[in-house]
A = this chain, B = another copy of it.
Amino acid sequence: MSGTAWGSGLAAMSGAALQRAIGPSLPSGIETPALVVDLDVVEANARRMQAAMAAAGIALRPHAKTHKSVALARLQLDAGAHGITVGTLGEAEVMADGGIDDIFIAYPIWAVGEKAERLRALHRRPGLRVAVGIDSAAGAERLAAAVRHAGRPLEVLVEVDPRNRRTGVQPKDAGALARAARAVGLEVAGIFTHGGHAYGGPDRVAPAASDEVAALADALTGLRAEGIEPRVISAGSTPTARAAATAPVNEMRPGTYLFGDRIELALGGCPADGVAIAIAATVVSTATPGQVVIDAGAKTLTKDLPAYLQGYGELADYPGTVIERVHDYHGVVGVPDGVRAPTLGEVVRVIPNHACPVVDLQDRFVATRSGAFIGWMTVDARGRSG
Q: Would you call B165 and A300 a contact (CB within 8 A)?
A: no
Does any Cβ of B come within 8 Å of A166's Cβ? Answer: yes
Q: Would you call B332 and A166 a contact (CB within 8 A)?
A: yes
Q: Would you call A345 and B110 a contact (CB within 8 A)?
A: yes
A167 is contacted by which of B136, B287, B299, B304 (Cβ under 8 Å)? B287
Q: Would you call B304 and A166 a contact (CB within 8 A)?
A: no
Q: Would you call B282 and A110 a contact (CB within 8 A)?
A: yes
Type the 1/0 row for A150-170, where 1 means its CB is closer than 8 Å to any CB of B. 000000000101000111111
A293 is contacted by which of B167, B303, B330, B345 (Cβ under 8 Å)? B167
Taken together, the copies of this chain in the complex come to 2
Type the 1/0 row for A321-334, where 1 means its CB is closer than 8 Å to any CB of B. 00001011110100
A297: which B residues are within 8 A, CB to CB?
385
A287: which B residues are within 8 A, CB to CB?
135-136, 159, 161, 167-170
Q: Which stretch from A222-230, A270-278, A353-361 is at the chain B interface?
A: A353-361
Q: How far is the CA of A65 from the CA of B329 in the complex (A)?
A: 10
Q: Would you call B327 and A136 a contact (CB within 8 A)?
A: no
A383 is contacted by which of B113, B288, B361 (Cβ under 8 Å)? B361
Known: A114-B31, A300-B385. A357 touches B328 (CB 8 A): yes
A298 is contacted by which of B167, B330, B357, B386 (Cβ under 8 Å)? B357
